[in-house]
Amino acid sequence: MDNRKYQRKDRQLQFEIKLDIAGFDLIGETKNISYHGLLYQAVKPIPEMTTLKILLKLPDDYVECEGTVVRVEKSAHEESIYNTAIFFHNISEAAKQKIMDYLET
């Protein structure tokens, strides 16, 4: 059973990541999202505890925040795919509200 306070919802949103330490940008698509974080599938793993700058593209807006990679697991179904969980931090209340409003639609 999932004990999360805010459940993730299966939604596909485009996002961009700027990696401070790795020096490259990444464009991806969420697999699921809550206002606390997201899960996406990567072809290259990003080390856990890596800090990221994230630009999440909502249908009519966008959200900027920072996040930390908290889990990386190799996919059981697809070779060379890594399920990557990111926890949002340094996210404004207004940004959280934008995500919550989107998830309620």
User: Residue 32 is part of a domain; what is its CATH number?
Assistant: 2.40.10.220
**Residue 94, SS3 per DSSP:** helix
Residue 26 has pLDDT above 50, yes or no: yes
| 2, 4, 5, 8: CA torsion to nearest 10 | -90
Containing domain of residue 23, as a range? 14-103
**CA dist., res. 29 & res. 42, Å (int):** 9
Q: Which of 14-23, 51-60, 96-105 has the lowest mean pLDDT?
A: 14-23
CB 55 within 8 A of CB 40: no
Determine the pLDDT at residue 1: 40
Residue range 33-49, pLDDT digits in tens = 888 899 998 888 889 99
**For 26-30, 68-72, 96-100, which range has the lowest pLDDT when averaged over its residues?**
26-30
Q: What is the number of domains present in the chain?
A: 1
Instruction: Please tell me which residue, 91 or 19, carries the higher pLDDT value.
Output: 91
pTM (two decimals) = 0.82
Q: Is residue 54, in this structure, part of any structural domain at all? A: yes
In a domain, 8, yes or no: no
